[in-house]
Amino acid sequence: MTIELTNKPGDAMIGHHHVTIGVGNPQEDFDFHTKVLGLKCVKRTLFYDGATPVYHFYYGNDIGEESTLLTTFPLEHVGVNGVEGVGQCSNVSLSIPVSAMGYWNKRLRDHGFDVTENEYFGEKHLEFRSPHNIRLSMVGIEDDDRKPRTGGPVPPELMIRGTHTAGVSTREMDFMGEFMEVGWGSRKVAQDGNVVRYEMGEGGTGTYTDFFIEPTRRSGSWYVGNGAIHHHAYNVPTREQQDQIKFFIEGLGYTDCSEPKDRGYFDSIYVRTPSGALFEACCSHEEAFLCNEPYESLGTKLMISPQVEQNMEETLAIIGKVEG
């Protein structure tokens, strides 16, 4: 099937919003993102789905702007582990200044991480695994003007700027390519071996989705589990545009698409894509993370999600306290 349309609703998406990852111990996760990667915790709240309280940490630049965000669900107390494989969101690369490549290579090694140097699409990657076995990489980018975190352990001039690519493991691209181009506001821009790159919006760092074609790999899990990326979220400027994307995608037959969900700081719709990976179209609320905390204390207080019935003390007894 070939569909050719202009002014498709998905064209409103402008790049990444965040990436959400299942992890294990909450303190270990917090320390890795804030002390090793140097990101700021801009919100500590709870998973908005299900009755069991689970932390939801948001890490990014000083105010948690879109495309600077990595978010995590620490699941040690739940005891659920993800299975890495094909058909899921597989990896994330982070943009750093080209001049910072040597700094990060040494910093990661000094913190005990095994770093592998790789290159594709003409970009040099420092690949490593997080403490919870998530595939991450640092990529040197010359022209990324996103604001870094300031006041952290990494000098701002060397600091992570945000996400560069969102990676997906897929068995094939036949139907996924159509989904990206027709439903998800993206265009194919390059292929390097078994890796196919799409971009959206104005293109460039923070807008890429890379598909790793791996037809013989075992299937990965879809549930929220330690050691697996749960979903990639993409930025939609307005709720009206978000509704139009949902209506259009469902009209294409992708009815495994959620109703809009209020996540406190943004509204989300989720769709299971032909690759198997879960994608989110995400629209930030006007005040975003500053809606219930001032900048001076942003990310320091646990915000109880509305469906959680336990009080603060009971909740912390279940999920554990995190220092920092």
Contacts of 205 (CB under 8 A, 6+ apart): 95, 139, 141, 143, 144, 161, 162, 164
Task: Quote the pLDDT of residue 306.
Answer: 84
CA atoms within 13 A on the CB side of 268: 21
Please tell me the distance from the alpha carbon of residue 143 to that of residue 216, in angstroms, as a whole number.
37
| pLDDT, mean over the chain | 96
Question: Taking 60 as the threshold, does the pLDDT of residue 228 lie above it?
Answer: yes
| Confidence band, pLDDT 50/70/90 cuts, at residue 4 | low
Q: What is the DSSP string of 273-324?
A: -TTS-EEEEEEE-SSGGGGSS-GGGTT-SEE--TT--S-HHHHHHHH-----
3-state DSSP assignment of residue 17: strand
CA pair distance 81, 78, nearest whole angstrom? 9
| Residue-wise pLDDT tens digits, 196-205 | 999 999 999 9
- Domains of the chain and any CATH numbers: 9-319 (3.10.180.10)
Closest C-alpha among 128, 144, 146, 125 to residue 136: 128
Query: What pLDDT digit, counting tens, does each position of 85-128 carry?
Result: 999 999 999 999 999 999 999 999 999 999 999 999 999 999 99
Tally of CB atoms within 10 A around 48: 16
Reported pTM: 0.96
Instruction: Confirm if 184 and 13 have CB atoms less than 8 A apart.
Output: yes
Q: Which residues pair with 321 in a beta bridge?
A: none
- Six-digit token pair at 123? 């970009």
- CB-based contacts of 238, cutoff 8 Å, min separation 6: 12, 283
> Position 313: which residue type?
E
- Report the distance separating Cα 163 and Cα 142, nearest Å: 14
Kindly report the number of other CB atoms within 10 A of residue 300's CB atom.
Answer: 12
Closest among 44, 32, 13, 30 to 300, alpha carbons compared: 44
